[in-house]
């Protein structure tokens, strides 16, 4: 999971340096290609349908389970490419634990769960990391 996350982060670094934000980082948009090199797989990002210039990010788009708090905040208009990093953290949690970090059926439940969460390491992840 860590190797995949690092490869995704490298891809995001390229996008962000070009002034772009993916805005829909999630496991369903991560693809693995068999590698003949040092890695078992090369990770590729897909679904660039929500890709946008980072200077004009206002629309609340993406998959709610991976959306950063600033995207879910109804009082906040603008956000930046850092929302991709938040989503990557949510995806890493899902790779390690096998379930989404934030549970809920709609955007209001996800927002409430995020607001009530005092820490970023779930109990399941913490126990797994201790092993």
Asked if the structure places residue 114 within a domain, the reply is: yes
Q: What percent of the chain has pLDDT over 90?
A: 5
Residue at 33 is within a domain:
yes
53 lies in a domain? yes
Task: Count how many domains the chain has.
Answer: 1
- Domain CATH for 83: 1.10.510.10
Element (H or E) spanning 89, and its range? helix 82-97
Average pLDDT of the chain is 78
User: Which residue shows structure tokens 């078992």?
Assistant: 40
> How many Å separate Cα 22 from the centre of its chain?
10
**What is the pLDDT at residue 88?**
92
Burial of 52 (0-12, 13-18, 19+ CB in 10 A): middle
Residue 131 lies in a domain: no
| pLDDT per residue as tens digits for the range 105-121 | 887 777 777 776 655 55
Domain that holds residue 16: 2-126
Task: Please calculate the CA angle 66-12-76 and round it to the nearest 5 degrees.
Answer: 45
24 flagged as catalytic: yes
In the set 24, 47, 73, 84, the catalytic residue is 24
Residue 24 lies inside a defined structural domain of this protein: yes
CA distance 11 to 33: 15
Is residue 56 in some structural domain? Answer: yes
The whole-number pLDDT of residue 33 equals 80
For the chain, report the end-to-end CA distance as a whole number of angstroms: 16
Percent of residues in the chain assigned helix, strand, coil, to nearest 5 = 50, 10, 40
């Amino acid at each position: 999971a860590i190797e995949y996350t690092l490869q995704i982060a490298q891809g995001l670094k390229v996008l962000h340096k070009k002034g772009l934000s993916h805005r829909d980082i999630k496991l369903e948009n991560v693809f693995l290609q068999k590698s003949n090199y040092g890695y078992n797989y090369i990770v590729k990002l897909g679904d660039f349908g929500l890709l946008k210039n980072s200077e004009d990010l206002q629309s609340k788009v993406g998959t709610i389970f991976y959306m950063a708090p600033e995207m879910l905040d109804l009082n906040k208009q603008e956000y930046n490419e850092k929302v991709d990093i938040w989503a990557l953290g949510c995806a890493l949690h899902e790779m390690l634990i096998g379930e989404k970090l934030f549970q809920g059926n709609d955007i209001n439940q996800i927002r409430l769960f995020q607001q009530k969460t005092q820490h970023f390491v779930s109990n399941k992840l913490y126990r797994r990391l201790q092993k």
